[in-house]
Amino acid sequence: MNHSVWISGLGVISSIGMNTNENIDSLRNEKSGVGYPEFLHTLHKKDFPVCEIKKSNDELAEIAGMRKELPRTTYLSSIAAQEAIKDAGIQLEGSSFRIGFISANTLGGMDTSEFFYEEFLKDNTQGHLRQVINHECGSITELVAKHLGIRHFVTTISTACSSSANSIIHGSRMIKHDMLDIVIAGGADALCRFTLNGFNTLMILDTEPCKPFDENRKGLNLGEGAGYVVLVSDKVKTALGLKTYAKVSGYANANDAFHQTASSPEGNGNYYAMSQALEMSGLNTNDIDYINAHGTGTSNNDSSEGIAIERLFGNTIPMVSSTKANTGHTLGACGGIEAVYCCMAMSQNIIYPSLRISTPIKELNFIPVASLIESHDVKHVMSNSFGFGGNCTSLIFSKA
């Protein structure tokens, strides 16, 4: 099958905005969401800055229109997915189209499980079991799908930091093979103690605001958020007369199987994902106008990704930046969030800057974009999401 896949709706929530417009305004104005946590319960409140959404769970529940006491990831997922559906102008209830919800996360209901165990470990007769019933990743997807009224096809992707990029691939393939007509694809993750402590154990957290692709980078800042796109087939696009932001023109997932938590020094998995996505798109290296890099701010990631970019693009390296200096690393949500950013880069003809770059990486021959570029015709963009275990994904979007 060779059906085209179009993006007709966008939705995002992050530490720099509660919706798409707020996020893009923040990127334009070089706003960062980095700060010390207010709602995350941790002993490290003053040790590691994070990119936290400054809303309580109860406030998020009200915005999402859902009951209280659910995992925080559920609310973030629902808020962004509902925005994407509303933006697309699609009525799900009573629709004759085959509709899927392919959602990603890495944490599930870990945050509420932590509250349970905090009480349970003090006294094994204490703790509310309702706090652990939605512990696993699939529960989040099912809760949100039920709230959205989607029942035809519902599944969860959990492949570390490439999760929501892979959900977009899976949704695109389902449409291409005429198995679904509409897919809401993306992902969400919230901050929790397990994640913060885990990344601290790996010694890759920065104690200051992160600076991806800077020679003196010291690590990443964790973030939270959600990002979704509404994928539609040619049939749906034509039948409903939908506006479209972009075409999903290429994608690939690769794995270099180098290390549990590190990329290979040569960036092999990164290279394979980017090169295969480019091959699928039918584009040349000089057709790509912008790369939204994975760009976490860790020594290993930025070096290996940069080397892979140089290996693939040679002397035709497009403009590159990382928006994780704004949002932090949102783990399973980053591919969905950055897919929204890429679509808006094409829609508004802008290139986002990488914040806080003062000294370019010595071993690389390119310098990321350091200030906002406007009125630039952005036709094709590449979005990279590289996860633990070497799970590497690249997406290519082309202006509609």
Query: In angstroms, what CA-CA distances link 389 with 21, 34, 70, 162, 220?
Result: 34, 27, 29, 10, 18
34: enclosing H helix or E strand: strand 34-35
Token pair belonging to 21 = 């417009």
User: In angstroms, rounded to a whole number, what is the distance separating the alpha carbons of residues 116 and 142?
Assistant: 21
Could you tell me the sign of the dihedral formed by the alpha carbons of 367, 372, 373, 377, in that order? positive
Catalytic residue among 147, 170, 329, 380: 329
- The answer to whether residue 147 is catalytic is no
Number of other CB atoms surrounding residue 92 within 10 Å: 17
User: In angstroms, rounded to a whole number, what is the distance separating the alpha carbons of residues 251 and 249?
Assistant: 7
User: In angstroms, rounded to a whole number, what is the distance separating the alpha carbons of residues 309 and 323?
Assistant: 17
- The answer to whether residue 380 is catalytic is no
Number of other CB atoms surrounding residue 39 within 10 Å: 17
Residue that the structure tokens 């003053």 belong to: 46
Catalytic residue among 147, 170, 294, 380: 294
Number of other CB atoms surrounding residue 128 within 10 Å: 13
Q: Residue 13 pairs with which residues in a beta bridge? A: 226
Q: Residue 301: helix, strand or coil by DSSP?
A: helix
Whether the Cβ atoms of residue 253 and residue 204 lie closer than 8 Å to each other: no
Catalytic residue among 161, 210, 342, 392: 161
- The answer to whether residue 329 is catalytic is yes
Token pair belonging to 273 = 């994902």
Token pair belonging to 190 = 């919230």
Whether the Cβ atoms of residue 341 and residue 347 lie closer than 8 Å to each other: no
User: In angstroms, rounded to a whole number, what is the distance separating the alpha carbons of residues 80 and 155?
Assistant: 17
Which residues are identified as catalytic? Answer: 161, 294, 329
